[in-house]
Amino acid sequence: MITTTGLTKIYRSGRSRGHEITALDGVDLHVREGEVFGVVGRSGAGKSSLIRCVNLLERPTAGTVSVDGTDLTALAGRGRRAGKDLRRARSSIGMVFQHFNLLSSRTVQDNIELPLEILGHSGQERSRRALELLDLVGLTDKARVYPAQLSGGQKQRVGIARALAGKPKVLLSDEATSALDPETTRSILRLLRDINQQLGLTVLLITHEMEVVKTICDSAALMERGRITESGTVGDLLATPGSRLARELFPVDGAGNGPGGTVLDVTFHGDAATQPVISQLSRTYNIDISILGAAMDTVGGRQIGRMRIELPGTFEENVVPVGFLREQGLQVEIVNAAPQVAETVALTKEGTK
């Protein structure tokens, strides 16, 4: 539904033409139809530039953006006819902003009707659509009040309703929950997921909050310094050895009890998440297992988690127990191990040169 190829955005200073900031550096992104896709990263990673380039609020310096099979970048800046086609294509994209951007002089209903007014719909059509959307977002009784009379969560619900006014196929969310308290954030995320499922809407959201990804996203990408460094379904990312996004989604800490053990990070997903695998391992091989840290949660309706454990002895002494864990469908990563394994790995590398 959304595809970017080699997307690049360079900001140039007007005062100093030699000063450039590369906000996007060749971003390739693919969002499938009907999914909720989250782009996560720290401030300055390029997330806002990315989402603004997707609907061409910012014109990319290079690369392409396609939404629902239409190359938006091919329509930009190519005469009156192309401009009209671009506006038509943009009408299939809704946008939810971090700070609501509601007009204080308009009622809630009038704010929702605004996009339809710009598109030339009749008053009767605008009113009918606005009331439908107020019902969808749970604000039927707020039609005639003004934004100043609403809470932050209610304002964001109005922003979501306004973004849906033109019946878009894609909804973009620019840090839509970052200004809200945790409980309100959860309610807005539930609303976005309900809208995604009821309307079959494709949702692309950017956030710096890992909790948002865990709560709502089917797929996710990690963005750093203007580049996508990881991307995939949340389940696949959690099963990928060495995934930074998986570690940040489910952080586990804990140092080993001494130099004589093997510390492992174990990722549980699918049916294995509900099985007593660790206790089975302990009983089967008669070994004492130390649990150093754990994080469990529900993602996309599935229980997923990570656990850091320590097995006594070197890695070579634990090859069979590690194999047992992997046979149960668990992802196992070696965090550190007794010195013998380090020596063995070094010798193996020397032998392959």
pLDDT digits (tens, 9 = 90+) for 141-182: 999 999 999 999 999 999 999 999 999 999 999 988 988 899
Per-residue confidence at 114, pLDDT binned at 50, 70, 90?
Answer: very high
Q: Which domains does the chain have, with CATH numbers?
A: 2-238 (3.40.50.300), 250-351 (3.30.70.260)
Per-residue confidence at 351, pLDDT binned at 50, 70, 90?
Answer: very low
Q: Residue 8 in contact with residue 60, Cβ under 8 Å?
A: yes
Residue/partner pairs of 234-241 with CB below 8 Å, 24 or more apart: 234/299, 234/300, 234/304, 235/269, 235/299, 235/300, 235/302, 235/304, 238/267, 238/269, 238/299, 238/304, 238/306, 238/331, 239/267, 239/269, 239/331, 240/331, 241/331, 241/333
Share of the chain above pLDDT 70, in %: 90
Q: Of 276, 278, 256, nearest to 266 (Cα)?
A: 278
Q: Residue 36 in contact with residue 65, Cβ under 8 Å?
A: no
pLDDT digits (tens, 9 = 90+) for 197-242: 999 999 999 998 888 888 899 999 999 999 999 999 988 887 777 7
Phi, psi of 75 (to 5 degrees): -90, -15
Q: What are the tokens at 36?
A: 């909720």
H-helix or E-strand containing 65?
Answer: strand 62-67
Q: What are the tokens at 125?
A: 């059509």
Q: Residue 112 in contact with residue 124, Cβ under 8 Å?
A: no
Burial of 68 (0-12, 13-18, 19+ CB in 10 A): middle
Q: What value does the mean pLDDT of the chain take? A: 86
Range of weakest confidence among 12-21, 60-69, 74-83, 304-313: 74-83
Q: Of residues 85 and 50, which shows the higher confidence score?
A: 50
Q: What is the rounded average pLDDT of the residues 107-116?
A: 95
Given the structure tokens 């990690």, which residue do they identify? Answer: 222
Q: Give CA angle at 186 (185, 188), nearest 5°.
A: 65
Per-residue confidence at 1, pLDDT binned at 50, 70, 90?
Answer: very high
Per-residue confidence at 126, pLDDT binned at 50, 70, 90?
Answer: very high
Q: How far apart are CA 276 and CA 291, in angstroms?
A: 14
Phi, psi of 111 (to 5 degrees): -65, -40
Q: Of 105, 98, 95, nearest to 166 (Cα)?
A: 95
Per-residue burial over 148-169, b if 16 or more Cβ lie within 10 Å, else e, is eebebbbbbbbbbbbbbbbebb
pLDDT digits (tens, 9 = 90+) for 70-97: 899 888 765 565 567 788 888 889 999 8
